[in-house]
Protein backbone atom coordinates (compact mmCIF):
# COMPACT_ATOMS: atom_id res chain seq x y z
CA UNK A 1 0.00 0.00 0.00
CA UNK A 2 1.29 3.38 -0.85
CA UNK A 3 1.08 6.46 1.26
CA UNK A 4 1.08 9.96 -0.11
CA UNK A 5 4.41 11.70 0.30
CA UNK A 6 4.77 14.43 2.85
CA UNK A 7 4.78 17.90 1.42
CA UNK A 8 7.58 18.82 3.83
CA UNK A 9 9.78 17.19 6.42
CA UNK A 10 7.41 18.32 9.17
CA UNK A 11 6.08 15.72 11.63
CA UNK A 12 2.58 14.49 10.82
CA UNK A 13 -0.27 14.53 13.36
CA UNK A 14 -3.51 12.56 13.07
CA UNK A 15 -6.41 14.29 14.83
CA UNK A 16 -9.40 12.02 15.47
CA UNK A 17 -12.66 13.88 16.15
CA UNK A 18 -15.63 12.21 17.85
CA UNK A 19 -19.17 13.56 18.19
CA UNK A 20 -19.18 15.74 21.29
CA UNK A 21 -20.06 19.36 21.87
CA UNK A 22 -16.45 20.45 22.28
CA UNK A 23 -15.63 19.12 18.80
CA UNK A 24 -16.41 22.62 17.57
CA UNK A 25 -13.04 23.69 19.03
CA UNK A 26 -10.95 21.27 16.99
CA UNK A 27 -9.77 24.14 14.80
CA UNK A 28 -7.84 25.55 17.76
CA UNK A 29 -6.00 22.24 18.17
CA UNK A 30 -5.15 22.15 14.46
CA UNK A 31 -3.92 25.75 14.51
CA UNK A 32 -1.80 25.13 17.62
CA UNK A 33 -0.21 22.06 16.04
CA UNK A 34 0.50 23.85 12.78
CA UNK A 35 2.02 26.82 14.60
CA UNK A 36 4.41 24.35 16.23
CA UNK A 37 5.48 22.87 12.90
CA UNK A 38 3.13 19.91 12.46
CA UNK A 39 1.24 18.87 9.37
CA UNK A 40 -2.26 17.66 10.28
CA UNK A 41 -4.71 15.12 8.89
CA UNK A 42 -8.18 14.75 10.41
CA UNK A 43 -10.26 11.63 10.88
CA UNK A 44 -13.82 12.05 12.15
CA UNK A 45 -16.60 9.70 13.09
CA UNK A 46 -19.58 9.86 10.73
CA UNK A 47 -21.69 11.36 13.51
CA UNK A 48 -19.07 14.03 14.23
CA UNK A 49 -19.28 15.04 10.56
CA UNK A 50 -22.98 15.81 11.07
CA UNK A 51 -22.68 19.33 12.44
CA UNK A 52 -20.36 18.90 15.42
CA UNK A 53 -17.57 20.98 13.83
CA UNK A 54 -16.93 23.13 10.78
CA UNK A 55 -15.74 20.52 8.30
CA UNK A 56 -15.16 22.99 5.47
CA UNK A 57 -12.97 25.19 7.68
CA UNK A 58 -10.96 22.18 8.86
CA UNK A 59 -10.37 20.99 5.29
CA UNK A 60 -9.32 24.49 4.28
CA UNK A 61 -7.00 24.81 7.28
CA UNK A 62 -5.31 21.42 6.76
CA UNK A 63 -5.41 21.42 2.96
CA UNK A 64 -6.60 17.80 3.12
CA UNK A 65 -9.98 16.07 3.03
CA UNK A 66 -11.38 14.75 6.31
CA UNK A 67 -11.51 10.97 6.46
CA UNK A 68 -14.75 9.60 7.90
CA UNK A 69 -15.30 6.25 6.21
CA UNK A 70 -13.53 2.92 6.22
CA UNK A 71 -10.76 2.41 3.71
CA UNK A 72 -10.96 -0.85 1.79
CA UNK A 73 -7.90 -3.10 1.57
CA UNK A 74 -5.85 -1.99 -1.39
CA UNK A 75 -7.21 1.57 -1.39
CA UNK A 76 -4.50 4.21 -1.12
CA UNK A 77 -3.85 5.65 2.31
CA UNK A 78 -4.99 9.26 2.49
CA UNK A 79 -2.25 10.57 4.78
CA UNK A 80 1.42 9.88 5.48
CA UNK A 81 2.26 7.70 8.49
CA UNK A 82 1.71 9.65 11.72
CA UNK A 83 4.32 10.75 14.18
CA UNK A 84 1.57 11.25 16.78
CA UNK A 85 -2.18 10.70 17.16
CA UNK A 86 -4.59 12.84 19.21
CA UNK A 87 -8.22 11.85 19.86
CA UNK A 88 -10.05 15.03 20.79
CA UNK A 89 -12.70 15.03 21.89
CA UNK A 90 -12.95 11.43 23.01
CA UNK A 91 -16.34 10.35 24.30
CA UNK A 92 -17.28 7.59 26.73
CA UNK A 93 -18.19 5.39 23.75
CA UNK A 94 -14.81 5.95 22.10
Per-residue pLDDT of 21-77, as tens digits, reads 999 999 999 999 999 999 999 999 999 999 999 999 999 999 999 999 998 999 999
Q: Note the pLDDT of residue 10.
A: 94
Confidence band, pLDDT 50/70/90 cuts, at residue 90: confident
Q: What is the model's pTM? A: 0.86
Query: What is the CATH number for 39?
Result: 3.40.50
* Beta-carbon-side half-sphere exposure of residue 69 (alpha carbons within 13 Å): 5
Q: Note the pLDDT of residue 6.
A: 52
Residue 58 lies in a domain: yes
Q: Note the pLDDT of residue 3.
A: 54
Residues 12/87, Cβ–Cβ less than 8 Å:
no
Cα separation, 29 vs 76, whole angstroms? 26
CB-based contacts of 81, cutoff 8 Å, min separation 6 = 3, 12
Confidence band, pLDDT 50/70/90 cuts, at residue 91: confident
Structurally, the chain folds into a number of domains equal to: 1
Please give the residue range of the domain that contains residue 17. Answer: 12-70+80-87
> At 25, is the secondary structure helix, strand, or coil?
helix
Amino acid sequence: MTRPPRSTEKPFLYVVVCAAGVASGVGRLITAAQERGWEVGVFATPLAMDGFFDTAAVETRTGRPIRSAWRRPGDPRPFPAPDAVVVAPATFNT
